Amino acid sequence: MQKINLNGKTILVTGAAGFIGSNLVKRLLLEVKDATIIGVDNMNDYYDVSLKEWRLDGLNGMNGKNGNKWVFVKGDLASKETIDGLFEQYHPTIVVNLAAQAGVRYSITNPDAYVQSNLIGFFNILEACRHYPVEHLVYASSSSVYGSNKKIPYSIDDKVDNPVSLYAATKKSNELMAHAYSKLYNIPSTGLRFFTVYGPAGRPDMAYFGFTNKLVKGETIQIFNFGNCKRDFTYVDDIVEGVIRVMQGAPEKQMGEDGLPIPPYAVYNIGNNQPENLLTFVDILQQELIRAKVLPEDYDFEAHKKLVPMQPGDVPVTYADTSALERDYGYKPSTSLRDGLRAFAEWYAYFYLK
């Protein structure tokens, strides 16, 4: 593994106004010194843009911290001209690609957005990394690539050839594309399969956020697979810690007997390694929403809860085997569901009810 010191580097973070991206940039601004951090995001309206703007406002207020320079560019990954221009102007040496069209169900009704962002957009990043060599490309994959695999926990050694949504297929494609570019052009790349990320200022289309919005309005929440789904919920700070550690350790460049590079390529799971039943999750969420005074103490949850069948594209369980991440980077996520949902509930009260 090639050790990388992030101090003084030029780091490009795509999806910088997004949930994980903004939290990553914040950590970098707090902990790295004398770096130039370039953020790019197309600020699309897949969900409330004011939430993205709020995240950005917090980052803009940190410009200059620790001698770091923060630059935000509004632009689309699917525009080759935009991406090439960014690389030509700033010559980033570390690239973290978090920009993507997310969401399983949305991919069923709006597939075009996934092809543009997740396939063409990622291709543009790979091409730029080819022409403006980088020390390390880190990119977001997803636990969705495991599809309906029966074996759990999901291991990076498992076959992932049976996606059950276009979203999952695009993420598997990203891993394949990165492997090809690592092989052909010796680009060190690491894919990270994120497992159900949650936390303050998250994505409103995620279950915990959507449930909260509906409960506040007195609407009924639908719990899929009659409550028998299990998810490996991973707190956003744990995800960001994993990303930062991985950024600092790139796969080693080596030449093979065929005269071509042995792909400096790796993939890891980042998950909590502890799947929780969806009903347990909802129970803890309701307790924390009451504690944060988002909901009244006498709220009748049973009257606002409906158990429904599985949705297309969903899987019954996600469960991360994180042994490879522990082995190579000495890290394993550990934030409990209660602590994570408490932080979310307190943020929700501050942001929406203040």
Q: Which residues are catalytic?
A: 167
**How far apart are alpha carbons 37 and 191 in whole angstroms?**
20
Q: DSSP readout, 164-201?
A: SSHHHHHHHHHHHHHHHHHHHH---EEEEEE--EE-TT
Q: Phi, psi (5° rounding) for residue 96? A: -120, 110
Place of tokens 């101090």: 7
The Cβ of residue 227 has, within 10 Å, a number of other Cβ atoms equal to 15
H or E element at residue 234: strand 234-235
Place of tokens 């289309």: 205
- What six digits make up the tokens of 230? 């299990």
Peptide bond into 153 cis (omega under 30): yes
Place of tokens 């960014």: 86
Q: Phi, psi (5° rounding) for residue 311? A: -95, 150
**Alpha carbon 234 to chain centroid, angstroms:** 10
**Alpha carbon 350 to chain centroid, angstroms:** 24
**How far apart are alpha carbons 344 and 267 in whole angstroms?**
29
Place of tokens 């102007």: 89
